[in-house]
Structure 1
Amino acid sequence: MSDEIYLVANSHIDLSWLWTRDETIGKICPETFVNVLNLMDKYPLLCYAQSSAQVYEWLEIHHPEIFRRIRKKVREGRWEIVGGSWVEHNANLLCGESLVRQYLLGKRYFMEKFDVDVKVAWLPDSFGFCWTLPQVLKKSGLEYFLTHKLKWQVERMKPPIPFPYYVFWWESPDGSQVLAYHTVGSYSEDVNPMRVLEQLASLKRRHGLNKLLVLFGRGDHGGGPTEGMVKEALRLMEIVDPAVYPKVILSTSERWFKDVRSISKSLSFPVVRDELYVKTHRGTYTTEARVKLHNRRCECLLLTAERFASIAMLLGMAYPSEDLKNAWKLLLLNQVHDNLDGTSIEEVYIQAEGDYGEIYRIGRKVLEEALNVIASKIDTRCGGLPVVVFNPLSWCRSDVVELSLEGELRAVKALKIFDCFGREAPVQIVEGGQKAVFIAEDVPSFGYKLYCLTPSSEESIDSGLKIGEFFLENEFLRVEVDGKTGFVVRIYDKVNGRDVLSDSGKGNALQIYEDRPPNAPGGEPAWNMYLGSLTELEKAEEIRLVEKGPVRATIKIVRKYGGSTFEQYVSLYRKIPRIDFTLKADWHEKYKTLKVAFP
């Protein structure tokens, strides 16, 4: 069988990175796609691949004539829609439902606007992939997966340990498989005959495969294929003697995947049953932490709003499908790899703050309306203030509830709270009378439980917590704090009869790492972690028991470093098998990274 080279024109477009989306919408996309469309009109053999439903929706809204021309090329089979997702997303920081929504909204858009069922997942520039992604892809109707960065290395790895495969079956824990391709070259190649031959030789040595897929065209800031690239590809296609040069095809990526799959049994490609880890860019899991926090909070808010809106719909509320879809689209847009990973310029994150604000507004509005509809059907008559506790999760739960106290309740000495069966639960007034906390027990899944709160002249019932100056204990856990250093020296799991921490005696430790600026040796703070310098804060300015109540007990530790002050709170609750570690940081350091460590 003769060698074959499949040339696929593309342009990797970062929707925002060193520029904002406004430039992408107004300049990068229209200029790139007009260039591609004009080349396709001039050279009928040229095919082109483009991902990201968000890009197409922007074109539909802002550049309808370009959108119309693209639809024509799609119908001709020459413009290949790839990816299937709303954007080229991060694949390690998202919840499972966000991954599903990326492909649900993306594939639905492509089907509605182009009548195309996308088969090739396309994430060439994302920074690593969770092990469950093949399951999401397969169940979303995708068969193939293309990426690039797995072989990138950090300089300090000697010898380097490159990702060993170009073509492999990627299998998730449930057994779902997709045929995966790690590009031999980059995703922005020139059509360079000698470089292409070198890549083909590498592929043949590694897998015995004589069919090479090459992605050519300018990328990141758009551009796509140049006329020179197309002419060189056509020149190579005219060579018919395989002894002179392998057969060259201007192709789509799906054609290559199908052709490779047809011969895969004879080549026995390896099966990877693991995450796909990128050994560089590890700083992206910590930098721009606020967007990661916004993303997680928005995921939880939208899912909670959807669940209770679905229940409220059964009680007569109109389901706010359009509002929720718009909120999800904003969230999916901000999950694009450079944004959520924290590698973009500050202007991008200023814009993102507005997006997250709109998501919060929509989510809270929907949730409040839904809960009000449900609560209106509940008989809340009791001898005090009714408190309805909702559980948005799919299992029965017992957990902490925090109430804001208003009016005369802020002046009372004590409170009592009873559930709908008349059983008293301990309640504790905190934050100088502004709030109260209690444990809501056995709240049913996707359901609620009614409580009644009343003023009292007597303290709440005993909780069974064991509390000392430097230790806290309930029926599940015992936590001990060193009275001199403030380190957590022991966490004992009473249920399983084992110590959780190592013998170092330094749990809940604050560690300061140097975070080198971009112009320093090894400095690239948005992308990588510099681990050459570590300072552990061993001195505590203050260690004291600050809460000792029937619901919660808390030890406070204060530390200082440079111009920064840290307040650490270690809290244990009655009947809850969990310790809460809270850190409040008044941070004034530059080019430093703070880590909380539990050895």
Structure 2
Amino acid sequence: MESKTTAHIISHSHWDREWYMSFEKHRYYLVKLMDTLIDLFEKGENFQSFHLDGQTIILEDYLQIRPTKKEVIKKLVQEKKLHIGPWYVLQDAFLTSSEANVRNMLYGLLDAKEYGAVSKLGYFPDTFGIYGQAPQLLQQAGINTAAFGRGVKPTGFNNMVSDAKTFESPYSELKWQSPDGSAVVGVLFANWYSNGNEIPVDINSAKQYWDRKLSDAKKYSSAPHLLFMNGCDHQPVQVNIAEAIKVAEELFPDVTFVHSNFDDYMDALQQSLPEQLQTITGELRNQRTDGWSTLVNTASARIYLKQMNQECQTLLEKVAEPLSVFSYFLGNEYPRDYLRYAWKTLMENHPHDSICGCSVDEVHREMVTRFEKVLQTAATIIEEKTNEIVSHISTQQSNIEENLIPLVVFNTSGNTRDVVVEKEIEIEKVYFEDMPFSEIPDYLRSKEVPSIKLVDKCGTEYFCNSKDLGIRFGYELPDDRFRRPYYAKVLKITFLAEDLQAYGYKTFYIQPTMETKQSEQSTIDRNAREIENEFVHLTIHDNGSYTLTDKQTGKVFEHLGIYENSGDIGNEYMFRKPNGEVPLTTKDLQAQIRVVEDHPVRSIIEIVHDWEIPKEADEQFQREKERLVWHKDRQSGRSNKNITIRLTTHIQLDQKAKGPSVKVTIDNQAKDHRLRVLFPTELSTNEHYADSIFELVKRPNTPEQEWENPSFDHHQQAFVSMTDGKHGITIANKGLHEYEILHEQQTIAVTILRATSELGDWGLFPTPEAQCIGTHHAEWMIIPHKGTVVESEAFKVAYDFSVPVIAVQTDVHDGTLPEEKTFFTWEGESLAISSIKLAEERDDVIARWFNISDKETMVTAQLMQGTTGYISTIIESMEKQCENVQIQEKVKPFEIISLGWQVKE
């Protein structure tokens, strides 16, 4: 016998902190909403519960204005009236790093713990697609359910549901499984998260409302428990919800109407689900839809934001945290509070309407300030922690000549590296206390610029290129006295640091000398058209493209690096090329080419394109925007007027580098367009690989049959890779999250700039700053390899591309540490290391890896301290104690594994 239908009505308001208004304007209405809620609960007007959008940052935003309300909120949370967490923010899933997704959960749970309760639901109401490892992360956090609005069934423009011939799941309820096999019960908001919004109390209106709403919900439900979300974006509280429910009960006595919450709804739902639910594996990216509303092109809106975010994440995860751990081993304080401040400030920029670049200009200006705060905090932590470690290193060696300048190079990437180091060195400085400051610059300029000799602890000499940078002002901030200003003579040195061990350092010594500078061996031919090292050979063509030969395999990749330009009549959410347009390219454009730098450890060639492209979209485009014509239906094109943009490309090949790195400076003066760089691979394959959240995901080169959008763009994190099984090529990047595989020549196309003019959702919101007029940059690295990116271990090179080495100038002093040391060792095939840090609530070291392959592997790891190890999770729990200091543990295919160590005093 069929169970009675229950309508679970969950009051909520999806709260974008900033979007079509600035943060402060949105917060004004948030305070009103929270005040109303508290008033409702305190008056006891039969208002049962409210779901606070799954993000605890809302409480911080409110309490900054109403700090006296904290105890009231705690009481409401503990009484299960106000439901909070588990996230800190509702961040975009694909545009924030793996560790950012973990920290978002970790800080959300810690905040919820302070208030006394948490909603154990993986809440992704409006996330623009979700990474495939989400079920594994949720399971490790003790969460076995998820709710989401996008990714499985097609949600169209303005959140209107449209059926298609084929779905991944016939129901709202499904089993969602990660590649490792972890699974959660997933609930799709098939009728969106506003399907129970503004419930009428008028009997006639309520009858019509519920006739339609019940029918719509039953259409997708596999169980008698129907979900109705009573709210929408920034929706004020429906204060008369109890009255509305009473009216519904009188009209539909065969339906039980409950003012519910997700805990109760999910418990009831799981008890009544059919035995066989459709299993959806991996990413939720609307693969089986027409492709017009995936919102993937938010990956290329305001790319400068993504680049700043990538730099912040990298400095925190890969530099500041490891260095803080190693300094902690030496008895120094772990800057947990500062790191938490930096992470939380960074995550203020991670909500989907923020990091996606799909808000009004005021929002994104404020984001830049937040990024700068994080960069400043991370830089200060890095400087402090390296100086603390360096102070313990003995740089006083009897077998080396006097008057040397020690230079300590830190490698915190997690992999052993050969890296070209570039560092500005103060070879002589004069303090203001030692000479009248007005005389110091002339005094230093009168000194002859020395040559540089570089040696290691054994006295072995290395090639070192030096460049005079002149005189620079500086200052010191001693711990025990007033600041000390000075002027210094500065040189920039460039040298190859070989075999830098993972999570360690190596000391070099600089000796200024008046000897004749050693001759520099050229690696660029006379016509500035060829560069090579032991791994690759490059030929630069007249049009600025380059042919790359993998010297290890003999594979040749022809004419890489051609630029492509298309019109864009879409918006911040969606790229839309004008109908029938053939993209412009630099294939037939003559480039200016010259040598910028050439010595044994580094060669740089500059390529300049002055390129005439259409100035903007045509006049019809403005009329279509004003009429709110959906981007799919726009008929406008590009202007007949042209304007010149300049692309200045630096191709750099370092000694020992597995491929060239490239940086382009774009002087953008055009509007309404997209700029990409093309890498024709000519590799015979139907699929490719992209770095994603804790996953190397395999994707098809062509879309499913339902796809109508002419573009088939994708998200990436650190790299995209293609192989035919024998040869492969991987394109690493810094903050370039959008790419597409073009059928012609199996070309990888990476977006490096997109210029748009409007937000593009429910009204007309001009965004002139999204046109990105002015100077912008983009960086990538080309890594040819044998076989796959996993087999060749090219993935390590790709990950390391974005991680800087840190070089610290110091003085000659005694210490307890040797000149070269590793603090943490690990090994394991097909494993990528994600982080090493101290736990949030105890002083244990936590390290995390993920298996990027479909084969079981083994991780072996050991701290260089006396410790006790254990198996952990993403929320830093202690799961299984290990007997030895050295931990050896099997890692399943695609598994995320965290290990912990209790550091003994």
Aligned to 1:560: 610
Asked if the contact 2:539/2:548 (under 8 Å) is kept, the reply is yes
- Matched residue of 1:330: which SS? helix
Structure 1: distance between partners of 2:98 and 2:61: 26
Structure 1: distance between partners of 2:331 and 2:68: 42
Aligned to 2:216: 199
Structure 2: distance between partners of 1:98 and 1:250: 34
Aligned to 1:251: 260
Residue 9 of structure 1, CA deviation = 0.9
Structure 2: distance between partners of 1:262 and 1:586: 60
Residue 415 of structure 1, CA deviation = 3.4
Q: 1:423 to 1:353 in 2, by over 3 A?
A: same
TM-score when scaled to structure 2?
0.59
Residue 142 of structure 1, CA deviation = 2.1
Structure 2: distance between partners of 1:495 and 1:262: 59
Aligned to 1:472: 531
Aligned to 1:520: none
Aligned to 1:95: 97
Residue 515 of structure 1, CA deviation = 2.5
Higher strand content, 1 or 2: 2
Matched, 1:23 2:25: yes
Higher helix content, 1 or 2: 1
Structure 2: distance between partners of 1:49 and 1:576: 52
Residue 240 of structure 1, CA deviation = 6.5
Q: 1:355 to 1:45 in 2, by over 3 A?
A: closer
- Matched residue of 2:236: which SS? coil
Aligned to 2:898: none
Matched, 1:55 2:58: yes
Aligned to 2:437: none
Residue 281 of structure 1, CA deviation = 1.8
Alignment counterpart, residue 271 of structure 1, candidates 274, 279, 285: 279
Structure 2: distance between partners of 1:399 and 1:465: 20
Q: Per-residue CA shift, 1:436-493, capped at 9, x if unaligned?
A: 32221111222100112234524267598888732222221222222x22212x2222
Structure 1: distance between partners of 2:100 and 2:343: 9
Q: 1:430 to 1:167 in 2, by over 3 A?
A: farther
Residue 423 of structure 1, CA deviation = 3.1
Asked if the contact 2:104/2:347 (under 8 Å) is kept, the reply is yes
Structure 2: distance between partners of 1:531 and 1:160: 24
Aligned to 2:737: none
Asked if the contact 1:53/1:109 (under 8 Å) is kept, the reply is yes
- Matched residue of 2:244: which SS? helix
Alignment counterpart, residue 584 of structure 1, candidates 637, 661, 665: 665
Structure 1: distance between partners of 2:536 and 2:526: 12
Alignment counterpart, residue 164 of structure 1, candidates 164, 168, 171: 168
Aligned to 1:362: 377
Alignment counterpart, residue 511 of structure 1, candidates 551, 555, 564: 564
Q: 1:38 to 1:313 in 2, by over 3 A?
A: same
Asked if the contact 1:9/1:224 (under 8 Å) is kept, the reply is yes
Structure 2: distance between partners of 1:268 and 1:42: 42
- Matched residue of 1:402: which SS? strand
Asked if the contact 2:563/2:675 (under 8 Å) is kept, the reply is yes
Aligned to 2:687: none
Asked if the contact 2:523/2:598 (under 8 Å) is kept, the reply is no
Matched, 1:530 2:581: no
Alignment of 1:306-321 (within 5 A): 306-321=321-336
Asked if the contact 2:544/2:591 (under 8 Å) is kept, the reply is no
Q: Per-residue CA shift, 1:152-177, capped at 9, x if unaligned?
A: 3479xx99677533222222222222
Alignment counterpart, residue 302 of structure 1, candidates 305, 311, 316: 316
Alignment counterpart, residue 385 of structure 1, candidates 405, 429, 447: 405
Question: What letter is aligned with 1:589?
Answer: A
Q: Per-residue CA shift, 1:229-286, capped at 9, x if unaligned?
A: 54222322345642xxx3322211122222222344x331222222111543233111
Q: What is the aligned-residue RMSD (CA, Å)?
A: 2.8
Percent identical: 25
Any unmatched runs of 5+ in structure 1? 517-522
Aligned to 2:297: 283
Alignment of 1:400-411 (within 5 A): 400-406=420-426
Matched, 1:542 2:592: yes
Aligned to 1:485: 543
Residue 199 of structure 1, CA deviation = 2.1
Alignment counterpart, residue 656 of structure 2, candidates 561, 566, 575: 575
Structure 2: distance between partners of 1:474 and 1:291: 34
Structure 1: distance between partners of 2:187 and 2:57: 24
Q: 1:65 to 1:548 in 2, by over 3 A?
A: closer
Aligned to 1:209: 223
- Matched residue of 2:421: which SS? strand
- Matched residue of 1:563: which SS? strand
Aligned to 1:417: 454
Structure 2: distance between partners of 1:595 and 1:169: 38
Structure 2: distance between partners of 1:65 and 1:203: 44
Structure 2: distance between partners of 1:563 and 1:185: 47
Any unmatched runs of 5+ in structure 2? 200-208, 287-292, 429-443, 471-490, 612-642, 681-905
- Matched residue of 1:118: which SS? coil
- Matched residue of 1:583: which SS? strand
Q: 1:380 to 1:128 in 2, by over 3 A?
A: same
Aligned to 1:396: 416
TM-score when scaled to structure 1?
0.88
* Count of paired positions: 572
